[in-house]
Amino acid sequence: MDGSTLLLIRGIVGVVIGIVAFLLPGVTIAALVVIFGVYAFIDGVTNLMWGITRRAAQRRAWVHALQGVVGIAVGVMTFIWPGVTALALIMFIGAWAIVTGAIEVAAAIKLRKEISGEWLLALSGLLSIAFGLLVLTFPFAGAVGISWVLGSYAMIGGVVLIALGIRLRSAIVVAV
The total number of structural domains in the chain stands at 1
Mean pLDDT for the chain? 84
Q: Shortest CA distance to 124 belongs to which of 147, 167, 154?
A: 154
Whole-Å CA distances, 77 to 40, 89, 91, 92: 10, 13, 17, 17
Residue 46 and residue 18: Cα distance in Å, rounded?
A: 33
Q: Which domain holds residue 171?
A: 3-175
Looking at residues 143-171, what average pLDDT do you find?
A: 84
Task: Classify the C-alpha dihedral 132-133-136-139 as positive or negative.
Answer: negative
Q: What is the pLDDT of residues 55-108, one digit of tens each?
A: 665 666 788 788 889 989 999 998 999 888 888 888 887 898 899 999 999 988
Residue 32 and residue 165: Cα distance in Å, rounded?
A: 28
